[in-house]
Amino acid sequence: MKTDTKIVRAGRKAEFTQGVVNPSVTRASTVVFNTVAEMNHALKNSHNNTMLYGRRGTTTSFAFQDAMVTLEGGAGCALYPSGTAAITNAIISFVETGDHILVVDSVYEPTRDYCDKILAKIGVETTYYDPLIGAAIEALIKPNTKIVFLESPGSITMEIQDVPAIAEIAHQHNCIVMLDNTWGAGINFQPFDYGVDISVQAATKYIVGHSDVMLGTATAVEKYWPQLRDNSYLMGQCTSPDDLYLALRGIRTIGVRLRQHQQSALKIAQWLSERPEVETVLHPAFASNAGHEFFQRDFTGSNGLFSFVLNRGNQQAVTALLDGMEHFKMGYSWGGFESLILATHNVQKLRTVTKWPYQHALIRLHIGLEDVDDLIEDLEQGFARLNQEC
Protein backbone atom coordinates (compact mmCIF):
# COMPACT_ATOMS: atom_id res chain seq x y z
CA MET A 1 0.00 0.00 0.00
CA LYS A 2 1.28 3.48 -0.84
CA THR A 3 1.77 6.13 1.85
CA ASP A 4 -1.29 8.27 1.04
CA THR A 5 -3.55 5.23 1.24
CA LYS A 6 -1.99 4.17 4.54
CA ILE A 7 -2.59 7.68 5.90
CA VAL A 8 -6.32 7.44 5.14
CA ARG A 9 -6.70 3.94 6.61
CA ALA A 10 -4.35 4.12 9.60
CA GLY A 11 -5.96 3.31 12.97
CA ARG A 12 -9.47 2.95 11.55
CA LYS A 13 -10.17 -0.67 12.50
CA ALA A 14 -13.85 -1.33 13.30
CA GLU A 15 -12.99 -2.09 16.94
CA PHE A 16 -11.79 1.53 17.30
CA THR A 17 -14.44 3.29 15.18
CA GLN A 18 -17.63 1.43 16.21
CA GLY A 19 -18.63 1.66 12.55
CA VAL A 20 -18.32 5.41 11.97
CA VAL A 21 -15.48 6.93 9.96
CA ASN A 22 -13.23 8.12 12.80
CA PRO A 23 -12.11 6.37 15.99
CA SER A 24 -14.24 7.46 18.93
CA VAL A 25 -12.97 9.52 21.87
CA THR A 26 -13.04 7.15 24.82
CA ARG A 27 -12.39 8.97 28.07
CA ALA A 28 -11.74 6.70 31.03
CA SER A 29 -10.05 6.21 34.32
CA THR A 30 -11.97 3.17 35.54
CA VAL A 31 -12.94 0.38 33.18
CA VAL A 32 -15.63 -1.75 34.84
CA PHE A 33 -16.03 -5.55 34.72
CA ASN A 34 -19.08 -7.59 35.69
CA THR A 35 -17.35 -10.90 36.24
CA VAL A 36 -14.00 -12.18 37.48
CA ALA A 37 -13.56 -13.92 34.14
CA GLU A 38 -13.97 -10.63 32.22
CA MET A 39 -11.49 -8.88 34.48
CA ASN A 40 -8.96 -11.69 34.10
CA HIS A 41 -9.39 -11.58 30.35
CA ALA A 42 -8.60 -7.84 30.37
CA LEU A 43 -5.58 -8.40 32.63
CA LYS A 44 -4.20 -10.99 30.21
CA ASN A 45 -4.90 -8.93 27.09
CA SER A 46 -4.13 -5.38 28.16
CA HIS A 47 -1.14 -5.33 25.79
CA ASN A 48 -3.43 -6.33 23.00
CA ASN A 49 -5.94 -3.50 22.59
CA THR A 50 -8.14 -4.57 25.51
CA MET A 51 -9.06 -1.85 28.01
CA LEU A 52 -8.01 -2.50 31.61
CA TYR A 53 -7.53 0.89 33.22
CA GLY A 54 -7.42 4.43 31.79
CA ARG A 55 -3.69 4.89 32.30
CA ARG A 56 -3.09 1.79 30.17
CA GLY A 57 -5.01 3.32 27.30
CA THR A 58 -8.46 3.28 25.74
CA THR A 59 -9.67 2.53 22.22
CA THR A 60 -8.58 6.06 21.20
CA SER A 61 -4.95 5.48 22.18
CA PHE A 62 -5.03 1.98 20.67
CA ALA A 63 -6.21 3.53 17.39
CA PHE A 64 -3.47 6.17 17.44
CA GLN A 65 -0.77 3.64 18.35
CA ASP A 66 -1.98 1.41 15.53
CA ALA A 67 -1.86 4.40 13.15
CA MET A 68 1.71 5.29 14.13
CA VAL A 69 2.90 1.72 13.59
CA THR A 70 1.17 1.74 10.20
CA LEU A 71 3.00 4.93 9.19
CA GLU A 72 6.39 4.49 10.80
CA GLY A 73 6.65 0.72 11.26
CA GLY A 74 7.89 -1.20 14.28
CA ALA A 75 6.22 -3.65 16.65
CA GLY A 76 4.48 -1.09 18.85
CA CYS A 77 4.22 2.56 19.83
CA ALA A 78 4.48 4.05 23.32
CA LEU A 79 2.78 7.40 24.00
CA TYR A 80 3.99 10.34 26.08
CA PRO A 81 2.63 13.78 26.95
CA SER A 82 5.34 15.55 24.90
CA GLY A 83 8.13 14.81 22.44
CA THR A 84 10.65 15.59 25.16
CA ALA A 85 9.01 13.04 27.48
CA ALA A 86 9.23 10.46 24.67
CA ILE A 87 12.98 11.08 24.32
CA THR A 88 13.80 11.06 28.04
CA ASN A 89 11.65 8.02 28.79
CA ALA A 90 12.92 6.03 25.82
CA ILE A 91 16.51 6.63 26.92
CA ILE A 92 15.96 5.91 30.64
CA SER A 93 14.16 2.67 29.76
CA PHE A 94 17.45 1.20 28.53
CA VAL A 95 20.24 2.63 30.72
CA GLU A 96 21.45 2.21 34.28
CA THR A 97 24.19 3.70 36.45
CA GLY A 98 27.60 3.05 34.92
CA ASP A 99 26.36 3.03 31.32
CA HIS A 100 27.55 5.28 28.51
CA ILE A 101 25.61 6.72 25.58
CA LEU A 102 26.59 8.47 22.36
CA VAL A 103 24.54 11.49 21.30
CA VAL A 104 24.83 13.55 18.12
CA ASP A 105 26.30 17.04 18.63
CA SER A 106 23.46 18.67 16.64
CA VAL A 107 20.80 17.20 18.94
CA TYR A 108 17.69 19.10 20.04
CA GLU A 109 18.82 21.26 22.96
CA PRO A 110 16.47 19.79 25.62
CA THR A 111 17.80 16.30 24.79
CA ARG A 112 21.33 17.52 25.51
CA ASP A 113 20.14 19.17 28.74
CA TYR A 114 18.57 15.89 29.85
CA CYS A 115 21.82 14.03 29.26
CA ASP A 116 23.92 16.66 31.02
CA LYS A 117 21.59 17.37 33.94
CA ILE A 118 19.62 14.18 34.62
CA LEU A 119 21.58 11.25 33.17
CA ALA A 120 24.87 12.64 34.53
CA LYS A 121 23.29 12.82 38.00
CA ILE A 122 22.47 9.11 37.99
CA GLY A 123 25.88 8.13 36.66
CA VAL A 124 25.15 7.68 32.95
CA GLU A 125 27.89 9.28 30.87
CA THR A 126 27.24 11.01 27.52
CA THR A 127 29.75 11.52 24.71
CA TYR A 128 28.71 13.81 21.86
CA TYR A 129 29.74 13.03 18.28
CA ASP A 130 29.98 14.83 14.94
CA PRO A 131 26.74 14.40 12.93
CA LEU A 132 28.89 13.50 9.88
CA ILE A 133 30.89 10.83 11.72
CA GLY A 134 29.37 7.85 9.88
CA ALA A 135 31.10 4.50 10.48
CA ALA A 136 33.95 6.24 12.33
CA ILE A 137 31.63 6.25 15.34
CA GLU A 138 33.23 2.89 16.14
CA ALA A 139 36.19 4.67 17.79
CA LEU A 140 33.82 6.25 20.36
CA ILE A 141 32.07 3.04 21.41
CA LYS A 142 33.11 1.72 24.82
CA PRO A 143 32.32 -1.63 26.45
CA ASN A 144 29.55 0.09 28.48
CA THR A 145 27.99 2.01 25.56
CA LYS A 146 24.27 1.17 25.52
CA ILE A 147 22.64 3.66 23.16
CA VAL A 148 23.64 5.55 20.05
CA PHE A 149 21.23 8.48 19.73
CA LEU A 150 20.74 10.15 16.34
CA GLU A 151 18.72 13.09 15.08
CA SER A 152 18.61 13.66 11.35
CA PRO A 153 18.52 16.36 10.19
CA GLY A 154 20.14 18.04 13.18
CA SER A 155 18.11 20.57 15.11
CA ILE A 156 18.49 24.08 13.65
CA THR A 157 21.63 23.25 11.62
CA MET A 158 20.10 20.49 9.43
CA GLU A 159 23.02 18.04 9.02
CA ILE A 160 21.84 14.70 7.61
CA GLN A 161 23.38 11.62 9.22
CA ASP A 162 24.44 8.37 7.55
CA VAL A 163 21.92 6.40 9.62
CA PRO A 164 22.57 2.91 8.16
CA ALA A 165 26.38 3.21 8.51
CA ILE A 166 26.08 4.25 12.15
CA ALA A 167 23.43 1.61 12.87
CA GLU A 168 25.56 -1.17 11.42
CA ILE A 169 28.51 -0.33 13.68
CA ALA A 170 26.26 0.20 16.70
CA HIS A 171 24.66 -3.22 16.23
CA GLN A 172 28.06 -4.91 15.95
CA HIS A 173 28.66 -3.61 19.48
CA ASN A 174 25.17 -4.48 20.80
CA CYS A 175 24.12 -0.86 21.13
CA ILE A 176 20.53 0.31 20.70
CA VAL A 177 20.04 2.75 17.83
CA MET A 178 17.59 5.53 18.76
CA LEU A 179 16.55 8.27 16.36
CA ASP A 180 14.65 11.51 16.83
CA ASN A 181 12.53 11.25 13.68
CA THR A 182 10.43 14.38 14.19
CA TRP A 183 11.54 16.01 10.91
CA GLY A 184 10.94 12.81 8.92
CA ALA A 185 7.53 12.60 10.64
CA GLY A 186 7.18 8.90 9.80
CA ILE A 187 6.40 9.95 6.23
CA ASN A 188 9.63 11.08 4.57
CA PHE A 189 12.01 8.75 6.44
CA GLN A 190 11.26 5.14 7.34
CA PRO A 191 13.53 4.54 10.35
CA PHE A 192 13.27 0.75 10.58
CA ASP A 193 14.40 0.31 6.96
CA TYR A 194 17.72 1.96 7.93
CA GLY A 195 18.64 0.04 11.09
CA VAL A 196 16.94 2.18 13.74
CA ASP A 197 15.67 0.23 16.79
CA ILE A 198 13.62 2.95 18.48
CA SER A 199 12.20 5.98 16.67
CA VAL A 200 11.03 8.92 18.72
CA GLN A 201 8.86 11.78 17.49
CA ALA A 202 7.50 15.02 18.80
CA ALA A 203 4.02 14.33 17.38
CA THR A 204 3.45 17.91 18.57
CA LYS A 205 4.92 18.92 15.19
CA TYR A 206 3.65 17.48 11.88
CA ILE A 207 1.56 14.56 13.19
CA VAL A 208 -0.75 16.91 15.09
CA GLY A 209 -0.03 19.60 12.50
CA HIS A 210 -2.17 22.39 13.93
CA SER A 211 -0.15 23.77 16.87
CA ASP A 212 -2.75 22.80 19.46
CA VAL A 213 -1.49 19.61 21.16
CA MET A 214 1.67 18.41 22.93
CA LEU A 215 2.34 14.73 22.22
CA GLY A 216 5.26 12.29 21.96
CA THR A 217 5.64 8.83 20.43
CA ALA A 218 8.27 6.10 20.51
CA THR A 219 7.99 3.17 18.11
CA ALA A 220 10.28 0.17 18.53
CA VAL A 221 11.34 -3.00 16.79
CA GLU A 222 10.12 -6.33 18.25
CA LYS A 223 13.35 -6.87 20.20
CA TYR A 224 12.95 -3.70 22.29
CA TRP A 225 9.19 -3.15 22.24
CA PRO A 226 8.29 -5.10 25.44
CA GLN A 227 10.91 -3.26 27.53
CA LEU A 228 9.92 0.14 26.12
CA ARG A 229 6.21 -0.56 26.66
CA ASP A 230 6.66 -1.90 30.21
CA ASN A 231 8.89 1.01 31.25
CA SER A 232 6.39 3.47 29.85
CA TYR A 233 3.67 1.90 32.03
CA LEU A 234 5.98 1.71 35.04
CA MET A 235 6.74 5.41 34.78
CA GLY A 236 3.04 6.25 34.58
CA GLN A 237 3.06 7.76 31.12
CA CYS A 238 -0.35 8.43 29.65
CA THR A 239 -2.02 10.80 27.20
CA SER A 240 -5.44 12.40 26.81
CA PRO A 241 -7.93 10.78 24.39
CA ASP A 242 -9.03 14.24 23.25
CA ASP A 243 -5.45 15.08 22.28
CA LEU A 244 -5.05 11.72 20.57
CA TYR A 245 -8.22 12.33 18.60
CA LEU A 246 -6.74 15.61 17.34
CA ALA A 247 -3.52 13.77 16.44
CA LEU A 248 -5.50 11.16 14.51
CA ARG A 249 -7.30 13.94 12.67
CA GLY A 250 -3.92 15.56 11.95
CA ILE A 251 -2.66 12.34 10.38
CA ARG A 252 -5.43 12.34 7.73
CA THR A 253 -3.93 15.36 5.99
CA ILE A 254 -0.22 14.89 6.71
CA GLY A 255 0.55 13.71 3.17
CA VAL A 256 -0.96 16.72 1.41
CA ARG A 257 0.23 19.13 4.07
CA LEU A 258 3.84 17.97 3.82
CA ARG A 259 3.80 18.21 0.03
CA GLN A 260 2.62 21.82 0.23
CA HIS A 261 5.06 22.71 3.03
CA GLN A 262 7.83 21.15 0.94
CA GLN A 263 6.92 22.97 -2.27
CA SER A 264 6.67 26.39 -0.62
CA ALA A 265 9.82 25.87 1.47
CA LEU A 266 11.85 24.86 -1.57
CA LYS A 267 10.69 27.97 -3.44
CA ILE A 268 11.61 30.23 -0.50
CA ALA A 269 14.93 28.44 0.10
CA GLN A 270 15.83 28.95 -3.58
CA TRP A 271 14.86 32.62 -3.37
CA LEU A 272 16.94 33.04 -0.20
CA SER A 273 19.97 31.42 -1.80
CA GLU A 274 20.00 34.24 -4.36
CA ARG A 275 19.72 37.04 -1.79
CA PRO A 276 22.83 39.19 -1.13
CA GLU A 277 22.18 39.07 2.66
CA VAL A 278 22.40 35.26 2.83
CA GLU A 279 25.66 33.43 3.51
CA THR A 280 24.22 29.94 3.07
CA VAL A 281 20.92 28.07 3.04
CA LEU A 282 20.72 25.00 5.28
CA HIS A 283 18.14 22.81 3.57
CA PRO A 284 18.64 19.02 3.25
CA ALA A 285 17.50 19.06 -0.39
CA PHE A 286 20.30 21.52 -1.31
CA ALA A 287 23.55 19.99 -2.57
CA SER A 288 25.51 22.30 -0.24
CA ASN A 289 23.80 20.91 2.89
CA ALA A 290 25.99 18.72 5.14
CA GLY A 291 25.06 15.09 4.46
CA HIS A 292 22.92 15.96 1.40
CA GLU A 293 23.95 12.65 -0.24
CA PHE A 294 22.28 10.72 2.61
CA PHE A 295 19.15 12.82 2.21
CA GLN A 296 19.09 11.91 -1.48
CA ARG A 297 19.61 8.25 -0.69
CA ASP A 298 17.32 7.77 2.33
CA PHE A 299 14.51 10.36 2.38
CA THR A 300 11.46 10.54 0.11
CA GLY A 301 10.94 14.27 0.59
CA SER A 302 11.39 17.35 2.73
CA ASN A 303 8.98 19.65 4.55
CA GLY A 304 8.59 23.27 5.70
CA LEU A 305 11.48 23.47 8.17
CA PHE A 306 14.94 24.73 7.22
CA SER A 307 17.45 27.43 8.17
CA PHE A 308 19.72 30.00 6.60
CA VAL A 309 22.73 31.99 7.80
CA LEU A 310 23.06 35.75 7.34
CA ASN A 311 26.28 37.38 6.14
CA ARG A 312 25.65 40.68 7.93
CA GLY A 313 23.89 42.32 10.84
CA ASN A 314 24.43 42.57 14.58
CA GLN A 315 21.80 41.62 17.14
CA GLN A 316 20.03 44.97 16.71
CA ALA A 317 19.81 44.58 12.93
CA VAL A 318 18.46 41.04 13.22
CA THR A 319 15.94 42.27 15.79
CA ALA A 320 14.76 44.87 13.27
CA LEU A 321 14.26 42.09 10.71
CA LEU A 322 12.29 39.94 13.17
CA ASP A 323 10.18 42.61 14.85
CA GLY A 324 8.28 43.77 11.81
CA MET A 325 7.29 40.42 10.33
CA GLU A 326 3.67 40.22 9.23
CA HIS A 327 3.23 36.48 8.57
CA PHE A 328 6.29 34.86 10.18
CA LYS A 329 5.73 35.00 13.93
CA MET A 330 8.41 34.15 16.46
CA GLY A 331 7.68 31.05 18.48
CA TYR A 332 9.03 27.69 19.52
CA SER A 333 7.85 24.48 17.99
CA TRP A 334 6.96 24.06 14.30
CA GLY A 335 4.94 21.74 12.08
CA GLY A 336 1.65 23.64 12.24
CA PHE A 337 -0.13 25.37 9.35
CA GLU A 338 1.45 28.73 10.21
CA SER A 339 4.84 30.18 9.34
CA LEU A 340 7.41 30.78 12.09
CA ILE A 341 10.77 32.48 12.37
CA LEU A 342 13.50 32.15 15.00
CA ALA A 343 17.01 33.63 15.23
CA THR A 344 20.00 31.99 16.92
CA HIS A 345 22.96 34.30 17.49
CA ASN A 346 25.35 31.76 18.96
CA VAL A 347 25.08 28.32 17.38
CA GLN A 348 28.49 27.37 18.79
CA LYS A 349 27.18 27.40 22.34
CA LEU A 350 24.80 24.56 21.37
CA ARG A 351 27.79 22.41 20.26
CA THR A 352 30.61 20.79 22.19
CA VAL A 353 32.57 18.68 19.68
CA THR A 354 32.05 20.34 16.31
CA LYS A 355 33.04 23.80 15.14
CA TRP A 356 30.29 26.03 13.76
CA PRO A 357 31.91 27.82 10.80
CA TYR A 358 29.64 30.86 10.48
CA GLN A 359 29.83 34.18 12.22
CA HIS A 360 26.46 35.86 11.76
CA ALA A 361 23.02 34.87 13.00
CA LEU A 362 21.24 31.73 11.89
CA ILE A 363 17.56 32.11 11.06
CA ARG A 364 15.29 29.08 11.19
CA LEU A 365 12.06 29.23 9.23
CA HIS A 366 9.00 27.08 9.31
CA ILE A 367 7.15 27.63 6.05
CA GLY A 368 3.44 27.32 6.67
CA LEU A 369 0.50 26.98 4.32
CA GLU A 370 0.08 30.70 3.54
CA ASP A 371 0.51 31.83 -0.09
CA VAL A 372 4.20 31.58 -0.84
CA ASP A 373 4.38 35.00 -2.53
CA ASP A 374 3.03 36.71 0.60
CA LEU A 375 5.75 34.97 2.60
CA ILE A 376 8.49 36.07 0.19
CA GLU A 377 7.25 39.64 0.35
CA ASP A 378 7.35 39.47 4.16
CA LEU A 379 10.98 38.26 4.07
CA GLU A 380 11.93 40.88 1.50
CA GLN A 381 10.68 43.64 3.80
CA GLY A 382 12.54 41.99 6.68
CA PHE A 383 15.79 42.18 4.70
CA ALA A 384 15.10 45.87 3.98
CA ARG A 385 14.83 46.49 7.76
CA LEU A 386 18.03 44.50 8.33
CA ASN A 387 19.92 46.49 5.70
CA GLN A 388 18.79 49.77 7.20
CA GLU A 389 20.58 48.79 10.43
CA CYS A 390 23.75 47.56 8.74
- Give catalytic residues, as residue numbers: 55, 108, 180, 205
Among 159, 162, 180, 298, binds ligand PLP (CB under 6 A): 180
Among 60, 88, 182, 302, binds ligand PLP (CB under 6 A): 182
- 155 contacts ligand PLP (rule: CB under 6 A): yes
Which of positions 87-146 make contact with ligand PLP (CB under 6 A)?
108
Burial of 222 (0-12, 13-18, 19+ CB in 10 A): exposed
Which of positions 280-339 make contact with ligand PLP (CB under 6 A)?
333
Q: What is d(CA 254, CA 256) in angstroms, rounded to the nearest whole number? A: 6
If the CB atoms of residues 179 and 221 are measured against ligand PLP, the closer one turns out to be 179
The span of 71-79, 120-128, 199-207, 373-381 binding ligand PLP (CB under 6 A) equals 199-207
Nearest-CA neighbor of 26 among 242, 251, 202?
242
Q: Tell me, what amino acid is at 82?
A: S
Burial of 114 (0-12, 13-18, 19+ CB in 10 A): buried
What does R_g of the chain's alpha carbons equal in angstroms? 22
Kind of pairing between the strands at 100-104 and 145-151? parallel
What kind and span of H or E run contains 76? strand 76-80
Kindly state the smallest distance separating residue 233's Cβ from ligand PLP, in Å. 20
Kindly state the smallest distance separating residue 157's Cβ from ligand PLP, in Å. 12
Kindly state the smallest distance separating residue 135's Cβ from ligand PLP, in Å. 24
Among 188, 204, 289, 344, binds ligand PLP (CB under 6 A): 204
Kind of pairing between the strands at 100-104 and 125-129? parallel
Among 11, 216, 250, 336, binds ligand PLP (CB under 6 A): 216
The contact mask relative to ligand PLP for 53-92 (x = CB under 6 A, - = no) is: -----------------------------xxx--------
Kindly state the smallest distance separating residue 107's Cβ from ligand PLP, in Å. 8
- 211 contacts ligand PLP (rule: CB under 6 A): no
Q: What is d(CA 181, CA 87) in angstroms, rounded to the nearest whole number? A: 11
Alpha-helix residue ranges (DSSP H) falling in the chain: 3-9, 14-17, 36-45, 59-72, 83-92, 109-114, 163-172, 225-234, 241-252, 254-273, 292-298, 315-323, 372-389
User: What residue ranges bind ligand PLP (CB under 6 A)?
Assistant: 82-84, 108, 151, 155, 180, 182, 202, 204-205, 214, 216, 333
